[in-house]
Amino acid sequence: MSSTIETTQKIPSTGSGDETNDEERFEYELIIERRKGLQLLDWKELVAYRDLFRFLIWRQIKVRYAQSAIGIGWAIIQPVFSMVIFTIVFGRLAKVDSDGVPYALFSFAALVPWTYFSNAVNDGVASLVSEANMLRKIYFPRLLLPLSAVAAKLLDFAIAMLVLVALMVAYRHPPGMGIVMLPLLVLLMSLSAAAISIWLTALAVQYRDVKHGMGFVIQIAMYASPVVYPTSLVPAEYRLLYALNPMVGVIEGFRSALLGTQSMPWDLIAVGTVSATLMFISGLAFFRSKEKIFADVA
């Protein structure tokens, strides 16, 4: 079903014998045809289902905060508590370098994009399995599920950004001119989360091990990203290899834009952009190749 295209065509009625009424009468015919070739993105179809996309985002947000005593406060608690623990362990005890800014500010500027990325990937990977009943009953572009999960987390990201601004005011640390690059970094951050979600959610439908291993993988990925340490600790010969992780450029870019810890790391951002784009394109191809079995194995 998912490798087909559904269109509705308006056709004239076969007629009832009454010429006056037949002039205004039409019937609708549902046409189901096989998608030609491996089309990665069907923009026309995605636009046609934009209302469903908006509904899925709204439902993700509503489900997350429904019957929650703290509600939207969960978007603040996770990065703030992580910042406190990291400041004590890595800032006070381990004396990790923070590029000349208070460690709390240094770590929180990284935790805001990282928390978005990890939560978006977790929800995106689980999106197809959690909507198995919906997959079996109706047709819609399956890609909307991981993409809506990634988009819904932008609300939490916006709330955490407000806390970061408050922290910068408290430490009297105004942003530099690099802040104009923030929209580009947010775009790269979202692309990275979408790329990995599309890859892993297609795998998770067939192999439940993916879902069980996500917590472990995300934890390792955090320490493989410069959340608690600066990239200056990474040897120069491994810098570009390290930047294949797209969150390296995003996190160091956030610190540069908001805290001015260093000049904008264009080399890290460029490598990360190429890496995220390739992962996104290959993820779409893999998703399309597996799409026909989703309803059967989910």
> Of 171, 8, 6, 20, which is closest to residue 87 (Cα–Cα)?
171
Tens-level pLDDT at each residue, the chain (298 residues): 445 555 555 565 555 555 555 555 666 666 666 666 556 777 888 889 999 999 999 998 888 777 677 777 888 888 999 999 999 999 999 999 998 899 999 999 999 999 999 999 999 999 988 888 888 888 889 999 999 999 999 999 999 999 999 999 999 998 888 899 999 999 999 999 999 999 999 999 888 888 888 988 999 999 999 999 999 999 999 999 999 999 999 999 999 999 988 899 999 999 999 999 999 999 999 998 888 877 776 6
Residue 298, helix vs strand vs coil: coil
List Cβ neighbours of 158 (8 Å cut-off, separation of 6 or more). Answer: none
Instruction: Tell me the C-alpha to C-alpha distance, in Å, between residue 197 and each of 17, 120, 126, 143, 254.
Output: 57, 8, 9, 10, 22
Which pair of tokens denotes residue 230? Answer: 């600066």
Residue 7, helix vs strand vs coil: strand
* CA atoms of 74 and 79, how far apart (whole Å): 9
Q: Any long-range contacts for 291-297 (C-beta under 8 Å, 24+ apart)?
A: 291/2, 291/3, 291/142, 291/202, 292/1, 292/2, 292/3, 293/205, 293/206, 294/2, 294/128, 294/135, 294/142, 294/205, 295/1, 295/2, 295/135, 295/136, 297/205, 297/206
Q: Which residues pair with 8 in a beta bridge?
A: 30
Please, what is the angle between helix 144-152 and helix 103-130, to 10°?
150
pTM for this structure?
Answer: 0.85
